[in-house]
Structure 1
Amino acid sequence: MANALLIIDMQTGLYDGPDKPFQRERVLENINQLIQRARAVNAPIFVARHTGPAGSPIEAGSPPWQLWPGLAVDEARDHLFNKTRPSCFLGTDLARQLAAAQVNELVIVGMKTQFCIDTTCRVAVELGFSVILPEDSHTCMDTPALSAEAIIAHHNATLAGAFVKRVEAHSIAF
């Protein structure tokens, strides 16, 4: 049973930008179901927002920086934090917060698969956390080199085993 949920970069500028993420509605629905399951047993929910420098499209407070309104996050209850790097740990107090909450197993979901999801999964394991990666609860956009579907499939396969326990979202209990 997982101890906490970590939602990464489900922000308006990424979720609803000019390039739409692969299967974004399904991913959002899966994340919202995980939020409901975590809340039902009072498992902590951590929510990362990628924050760009002043003047960037995702600078703190800008409309694209805001969490997607359809995400069932409760800003008064959940642990929101800002990050400036692909890792949710670098330059944040996430590791300390997880330790204070006695978390040892973390479910990681959100965006973008090849950047913040991949990096955070790998760093979490290096820091001693067990990681569950719901294969159907992270996403990204097509790139010139690869389709988003191929990027997601590649990362699901690459991270599984060595870094994460790969499962479907519906099988996760908190």
Structure 2
Amino acid sequence: MKTAILVIDMQRGLCDDPPRPYEAEAVVGRINALTARARAAGVPVAFVQHENAVDLEFDSERWQLADALQVTPADARLRKTTPDSFLRTPLEAWLSGQGVRRVVVCGYSSEFCVDTTVRRAAALGYEVVLAADAHTSHDKPHAKGAFIRAHHNATLADITSFGVPIRAIDSADIVFDR
């Protein structure tokens, strides 16, 4: 089954600015390892970047991808304005054009854009692999980033009503077929 990787909102203003999200440096390292393995297997990689007029203006310093993220010219770059990476973006057409039926999702923020994109992908019939240790969030007054990630790994992987699997798998255990 043709696969693509979606790296959600790993941007300077969200991931590099202090305070940084939970395990920010380790998450970037896992994403870099995951995308390098994907590219070596011929799996397409897309970086999705959120934008708004308040603090993530298009092409601003804060809107740019996180400094430590490894990006190649062959990687797709997609802009979005909502937590849903599919809504009013070319993502679905990009996936369809490449025959993709399974997406690997990682990035920021576990409870907003990652969660919404995982659910929307499944609703559209894509099998979803959530890179369980390669998404993150900031600590919130009600929950720490570690809890938020663990909660979404368990909750999303427990959803069966879309009719396609959603699995939460550690990034090192995700396998790409050639």
Normalised TM-score (structure 1): 0.95
Match of 1:146 in 2: 143
The gaps in structure 2 that reach 5 residues or longer are 161-165
Matches within 5 A, 1:94-173: 94-162=91-159, 164-173=166-175
C-alpha separation between the residues in 2 aligned to 1:71 and 1:18?
A: 17
Quick one: which of 74, 80, 83 aligns to 2:77?
A: 80
In 2, are the aligned partners of 1:2 and 1:173 still within 8 Å (CA)?
A: no
Give 3-state SS (helix, strand or coil) of 2:86's partner.
coil
C-alpha separation between the residues in 1 aligned to 2:9 and 2:119?
A: 17
Structure 1 runs (4+) greater than 4 angstroms displaced: none
* Number of residue pairs the alignment of both structures matches: 171
Change (3 A) 1:2 1:26: farther
Match of 1:44 in 2: 44
In 2, are the aligned partners of 1:2 and 1:172 still within 8 Å (CA)?
A: no
User: Does residue 1:13 correspond to 2:13, yes or no?
Assistant: yes
In 2, are the aligned partners of 1:2 and 1:107 still within 8 Å (CA)?
A: no
Match of 1:3 in 2: 3
Q: What is the letter of the counterpart of residue 60 of structure 2?
A: S
TM-fit CA distance, 1:134: 1.4
Give 3-state SS (helix, strand or coil) of 2:133's partner.
coil
C-alpha separation between the residues in 2 aligned to 1:41 and 1:146?
A: 37
Give % identity.
40
Deviations along 1:113-171, one digit per CA (max 9) or x if unpaired, are 00000000000000010000111000000011111111111111100132611111111
Cα-Cα RMSD = 1.2
C-alpha separation between the residues in 1 aligned to 2:76 and 2:152?
A: 26
TM-fit CA distance, 1:26: 1.2
C-alpha separation between the residues in 1 aligned to 2:47 and 2:22?
A: 21
C-alpha separation between the residues in 2 aligned to 1:98 and 1:2?
A: 10
C-alpha separation between the residues in 2 aligned to 1:93 and 1:64?
A: 22
C-alpha separation between the residues in 2 aligned to 1:146 and 1:15?
A: 18
TM-fit CA distance, 1:2: 6.1
Normalised TM-score (structure 2): 0.92
